[in-house]
Amino acid sequence: MIKIQILIDSAVKTRQFTAYLISAILVFTTAIGHAESSTLLDNTSFSRSRIKIFRVRPGESTSDILSRLGSNEALKVVSANKDKTHMMVITTDKPKEFIGFSSSPLGLSSPSHFGRRFNRYTHKFNMMNLVSVQGTITSSMEEAAKQAKLPEPLIDQLAQIFAWDIDFATNLHPGDRFTVVYEKGGFNGTDDIVATEFVNRGKAYRAVRYIDKEGYANYYTPEGNALQKAFLTTPVDFARISSHFSSSRRHPVLNRIRAHKGVDYAARTGTPVKATGNGEVTFLGRKGGYGQAIILRHGDRYETVYAHLSGYKTGLREGSTVRQGEVIGYVGQTGLATGPHLHYEFRIDGIHQNPLTAQVSNSIPVKSVAMVDFKSQIQDPLAKLNLTKANSLFAKIYSPYN
């Protein structure tokens, strides 16, 4: 016999995350012994919690269970308590089979904790409060967003999601249209885009959000390719290239001909320097002519070097993990430099390459091990996106995704 338990807690929002973990431990304990669980319950701050127990017939699938829970009782509970925290957990008599799902996207990352702690997490549902809107640009994006009732912060989010493919500042056209599925009060408590399609000059781009096991949210194509490229082209914003990659140039300080194995960006001292890709700090400190430098390793093959820095990001040290676009240091002129600039190197398999022309795999796909998780996570948002499109006039307009 399998038992399903629904645990609804009304813990305060700021303590949401802890609450989830405690709930999970609580329910897991319940699976082992009910006597223990009731004691545990009394001794925790879950005095306002309610637990419902359902009997499940052998052989029932998760969706069978859900439908039999009574006209989506689970969904009803969720919508009735959307401002509070909820959790629904299914346990089975076999402790190895632990099934949990949650009404909050926080639950999306917490199962990985279940996984690490208990190694029993097998499947989850994500019941998100999804809202969909559609718009067509006639004059400006802002105008179209207003008409579509797309919340203002989501315009920026949309622009960021498609930053690699669509220039929202200069390349939007009348007739461009968008469908946005967003989560109300989602990840981090804000509205967040979970699935979207943007048709720019007749070309359709799609994005879905995926929160990985580490809890990082990124946008991918529905096929699982990151929209973000593996490396940013430049590590400093609004900087001018003062010296290109070259096999022979006269060194400004040494006054000798030698290869320039990087690209120089002239910028004011103190200008933030960003990691061009996700990676790990393998060197941070003084290094001869480089002055104060940082070396990052990105996976097995790539390395980037940032030299002549005036300083490092506080707390950054060898072994630290950095994310693409994260500020790691500041432009300076330490080491052999005639003026403040960033010397940036890009190495593939230990060999210096011109960062501006190097052939790098375009995007980082979802790791194949995470593909099942990815598919299940994007399922609802994607279905909602398709439904929204199907119910609209846009369905009649050509899109490769129709």
Contacts with Zn ion, residue ranges (CB under 5 A): 262, 264, 343
Q: For residues 82-120, b (16+ Cβ closer than 10 Å) or e, as one string?
A: eebbbbbbbbbeeeeebbbbbbbbbbbbbbbbbeeebeb
Q: How far is the CB of 339 from Zn ion (least distance, A)?
A: 11
Measured from the CB atom, the residue of 46 and 346 that comes closer to Zn ion is: 346
Rounded Cα distance between 255 and 100, Å, is 66
Rounded Cα distance between 228 and 210, Å, is 13
> Which H helix or E strand runs over 160?
helix 152-161
Token pair of 228 as six digits: 């973000």
What are the Cα distances from residue 262, in Å, to 46, 188, 286, 306, 342? Answer: 58, 39, 18, 10, 10
Measured from the CB atom, the residue of 197 and 303 that comes closer to Zn ion is: 303
For the chain, helix (H) and strand (E) counts, in that order, are 8, 25
Measured from the CB atom, the residue of 10 and 242 that comes closer to Zn ion is: 242
Nearest Cα to Cα of residue 6 among 79, 47, 64, 66? 66
Q: How far is the CB of 273 from Zn ion (least distance, A)?
A: 13
- Give the number of C-alpha atoms closer than 13 A to the C-alpha of residue 359, restricted to the C-beta side: 0
Q: How far is the CB of 236 from Zn ion (least distance, A)?
A: 13
- The size of the chain, in residues, is 402
Q: How far is the CB of 337 from Zn ion (least distance, A)?
A: 8
Measured from the CB atom, the residue of 266 and 370 that comes closer to Zn ion is: 266
Measured from the CB atom, the residue of 6 and 307 that comes closer to Zn ion is: 307
Q: How far is the CB of 289 from Zn ion (least distance, A)?
A: 9
Measured from the CB atom, the residue of 112 and 354 that comes closer to Zn ion is: 354
Rounded Cα distance between 272 and 310, Å, is 10
Q: How far is the CB of 256 from Zn ion (least distance, A)?
A: 14
Q: How far is the CB of 261 from Zn ion (least distance, A)?
A: 8
Measured from the CB atom, the residue of 224 and 262 that comes closer to Zn ion is: 262
Rounded Cα distance between 388 and 379, Å, is 14
Measured from the CB atom, the residue of 191 and 264 that comes closer to Zn ion is: 264
Q: How far is the CB of 268 from Zn ion (least distance, A)?
A: 17
Question: If you write DSSP's letter for every residue of 9-48 in order, what string do you get?
Answer: ----GGGHHHHHHHHHHHHHHHHH-HHHHHHHHHHSSGGG
Write the DSSP symbol of residue 332: B
Q: How far is the CB of 343 from Zn ion (least distance, A)?
A: 3
Q: Report the residue closest to Zn ion, judged by CB.
A: 343
Measured from the CB atom, the residue of 176 and 264 that comes closer to Zn ion is: 264
